[in-house]
Chain A
Amino acid sequence: AQSVSQHNHHVILSEAASLELGCNYSYGGTVNLFWYVQYPGQHLQLLLKYFSGDPLVKGIKGFEAEFIKSKFSFNLRKPSVQWSDTAEYFCAVILYSSASKIIFGSGTRLSIRP
Chain B
Amino acid sequence: DTEVTQTPKHLVMGMTNKKSLKCEQHMGHRAMYWYKQKAKKPPELMFVYSYEKLSINESVPSRFSPECPNSSLLNLHLHALQPEDSALYLCASSQTGTGEEEQYFGPGTRLTVT
Contact = CB atoms under 8 A, between A and B. Distances in A.
Interface of A: 32, 34, 36, 42-46, 49, 51, 90, 94-96, 98-102, 104-107, 109
Contact of A44 (B43, B50, B99): B43
A32 B45 CA distance: 17
Which of under 10, 10 to 19, 20 to 34, or 35 or more describes the interface residues of B?
Answer: 20 to 34
Interface of B: 4, 31, 33, 40-45, 48, 50, 55-56, 90, 92, 94, 97-100, 102-103, 105-108
Contacts of A96: 99
A43 B98 contact: no
Contacts of B31: 100
A44 B107 CA distance: 8
Contacts of B108: 43
A42 B107 contact: yes
Contact of B103 (A42, A102, A106): A102
A17 B59 CA distance: 43
A36 B37 CA distance: 14
B67 to A, nearest CB: 18
Contacts of B40: 107, 109
A68 B90 CA distance: 31
Nearest to A34: B102
Contacts of B43: 44, 90, 102, 104
B102 A32 contact: no
Contacts of A102: 43, 45, 103
